Structure 1
């Protein structure tokens, strides 16, 4: 984020250029979503708020980066996060370590 704060990220004139404020917005939405996902215990309202945060982040993330992705952001983890995390939390509880690789 330093490159945005210090205005080192300049408009290249590219049709797919992403403005600084949009990158900052997607970063802030990611942080909000990530912090909500790290809870140890969830009330139903927490899970709903997390899903809303995921939807907001994913919509903006896909809007910003789809054109720059050869796969058009067709990633299994992105799909799982957006479409299955809500039901997983409701069924199994906290997701801390959910995506961790086995040791």
Structure 2
């Protein structure tokens, strides 16, 4: 992953509303959530939330699909995975045993 892409993704997540929305979508994979459900859970207006959603989508963190009359929002697990690999790629100077606690924490959740 290019550094500029990682920075765009991290910048998109550097807002409490966007981070909470993305984490909520990750928990609801693979089904996703309707935009209306997301708006209701944030307590924001539709227009304010749409702005946050657009930032997440531009960063490649969220995809939308139409199901009937609803727009379903889904977390892009591929983008999340790419970011996590980018951040951990050079972890501990290549000594994987030092990253074992991180991997163990991820496996338990």
Q: TM-score, normalised by structure 2?
A: 0.31
Structure with greater helix share of residues: 2
Structure with greater strand share of residues: 2
Q: Which has the higher contact order (CA 8 A, sep 6+)?
A: 1
Q: TM-score, normalised by structure 1?
A: 0.32
